[in-house]
Structure 1
Amino acid sequence: MDEVKVVVAHSERATLRVGDVFLKVDADQARIDVEVEAMAMAPVPTPEVLWRKPPVLAIAAVPGATLGRLGEPSTASPTAWAAAGAALRKLHDAPAPSRPGRAGRSLDELAAELDGECEWLVTSGALPADLVTRNRQVAEAALRPWTPAFTHGDLQIAHVFADGDEITGIIDWSEAGQGDALYDLATFTLGHENHLGDVIAGYGADVDLDVIHAWWSLRSLLGVRWLVEHGFDAFAPGCEVDVLKSRM
């Protein structure tokens, strides 16, 4: 019998691994619907869907290993990072699903959420006011019109797998949909600023670095409370709070 490994678990969903099979348990079937549709449409390597029986989705493991994890140095080569950038460009150029994704929230919605989180971070004492204020200023550059693209919506570095220099799979598509392509690029390079140049080289298009920096600040400001409330450590070295400090 293969060991059952808890990959991630919180009040919204859980992912278990048994051998080469991942079992995703999610009470919100809409998220699973989005994930299955996006994986079928995406022109990049994605996991094979083995079966689905609500509330569980079973997918096959992809070969290789993740490019790294937030808070830890990446051992992947510059070529692998560039290959990830090329895969992202291919995704962003593809026809997008009809629905907006996590990266496609309206500017008014984002601004309101950002204001609310910044207020909580200061009034709760979670972060110093000057740190929040500076990053709120940086984040402003992300609140601009953008051309809709096919976005992953949660492209953390741990969701991209490579075997050597080849991208073998991108996982966790439940936030996919139409959105801002630079949100994906920023999410992927969050905490790994030293690899941004490699990613952009593979992406092969002009990228507004101010917007990338803005998304780093915005995503981190929005994430701290959720991470704390769900048992994750945004204050760990190299993670969200350190990203915010790097903007000072």
Structure 2
Amino acid sequence: MKTVLITGCSSGYGLATARHFHAQGWKVIATMRTPRELDIAPSSRFRVVALDVTRPESIGRALDDIGPLDVLVNNAGIGLFGAFEATPMATVREVFETNTFGTMAMCQAVIPRLRAQRSGTIVNVTSSATLAPFPLVAAYTASKTAIEGFSASLALELHDFDVRVRLVEPGYGPGTNFSANADDRIQGLITEPYAAYAQGVFAEFMGATLTTTPEDVAEAVWLAANDTTNRLHRAAGPDAVALADRG
């Protein structure tokens, strides 16, 4: 039985991915900052574990408790909308702390065991914002784009140890908590000079005909985790696929 550890499983893409792997017969370690009961039938193959990717001690405790590992899915992330001009650098650093440094910290913690067993896969979940430019998400895009470059380099240095690195790039998911988990940080970031422009951007998002579901991302992560080729990038969701094909 293979084991996957997935970060950011409290809702959205992470929760759907945990369900998908569990349905495929895997042992699932579903992590989140504040553990809560999930609507998944009780199973010896499913555990919820506390893990905050921004805290080294939390990462260490979680990994000490899980045993052998085959796949790491770095899904934990926070969103941010707003004019960059109005975004405090403290907020930018907060976004990078989770989206970029949290992902890197998880990789650094897991690599020694994957290298020693000479097998395993790391799947880093980024965003379709890395496939084409979008307005009002400059800091968020930067945090995810950094992981794209990081993953490409990491894939090369882990290749000889038979450890694979994959990227999954989800599209816009209106059914996720992206906006909700950004609420506190986006207050005051749409200033008066940007108000009219932002209204047009939000209207365009609300009217999007191609969007991404959590199940789209779960399936893409599953395929990435089981792909034995050298493929690095995998768009998730019809809108992301369209952007990837265009680029």
TM-score (normalised: structure 2): 0.30
TM-score (normalised: structure 1): 0.30
Q: Name the one with the larger helix percent.
A: 2
